[in-house]
A and B are shown apart, each in its own frame.
Chain A
Amino acid sequence: DTGVSQDPRHKITKRGQNVTFRCDPISEHNRLYWYRQTLGQGPEFLTYFQNEAQLEKSRLLSDRFSAERPKGSFSTLEIQRTEQGDSAMYLCASSTGPALQGYFGPGTRLTVT
């Protein structure tokens, strides 16, 4: 068990470009969460999957953001037409059942120039 992995670890993109991040959860975990963390803030909830179903989305998740978890395994988070305000650390976490002590991945740091 290698824990939650995220790819890429760093991404620099120009404003207006699309980016996609990947998260591979711990294999037996059926819940997968995406959070965003900006400088000086704690992680903020974006969206959550139970198996392949996306059960909840935060108001932070604008129409430019979309997340998928095909077959209930890995998940992708896509941001279209990136803006400078999207620059942040994007964190993925996974857990089993109702357990809340999610295991976090190392994050993907996005910089929009």
Chain B
Amino acid sequence: DQQVKQNSPSLSVQEGRISILNCDYTNSMFDYFLWYKKYPAEGPTFLISISSIKDKNEDGRFTVFLNKSAKHLSLHIVPSQPGDSAVYFCAASGMSSGNTPLVFGKGTRLSVIA
């Protein structure tokens, strides 16, 4: 049973435009969400996180939005750059319940076309 779902395996965006990556979750105990970026032959790299007490968190070109009622979050990258081409993983945890191991989605491969 997939508790964290990334329903789009891939996404292509032109350089300079907005990339929107989506993630849905089913476990209502999740209260902390993270996005990781992964290049081939490297481990995942942390990008940005959001706690369930917020609905938005911004860091430079990256913004994460959380809709708790819909159990949905999204990562916006503006403007998209060719170096952003990678696999993006959404992850979740029930931090307040003391459950720290992360549950990951299957990832979305982003291709930014110059």
Contact = CB atoms under 8 A, between A and B. Distances in A.
Interface of A: 4, 31, 33, 40-45, 48, 56, 58, 91, 93, 98, 100-107
B101 A43 contact: no
B34 A101 contact: yes
Contacts of A45: 101-103
B42 to A, nearest CB: 6
A54 B45 CA distance: 24
B100 A48 contact: yes
B106 A100 contact: no
Interface string B100-113: 11111111000000
Tell me the dominant secondary structure on chain B's binding face: strand
B103 A100 contact: no
Contact of B102 (A56, A98, A100): A100
21 contacts: A4-B43, A31-B100, A41-B106, A42-B105, A42-B106, A43-B44, A44-B104, A48-B100, A56-B101, A58-B101, A91-B43, A91-B44, A93-B43, A98-B95, A100-B49, A100-B102, A101-B49, A104-B44, A104-B45, A106-B41, A106-B43
A93 B4 CA distance: 20
Interface range, B side: 20 to 34
A105 B43 CA distance: 5
Contact of A103 (B6, B46, B103, B104): B46
B107 to A, nearest CB: 6
Interface in B76-114: 89, 91, 93, 95, 100-107
A87 to B, nearest CB: 16
A107 B39 CA distance: 12
A101 B103 contact: no
Given A98-B100, A100-B34, A100-B102, 15 more contacts: A31-B100, A42-B6, A42-B106, A42-B107, A43-B89, A43-B104, A48-B101, A58-B101, A91-B43, A98-B95, A100-B49, A100-B93, A102-B102, A107-B42, A107-B43
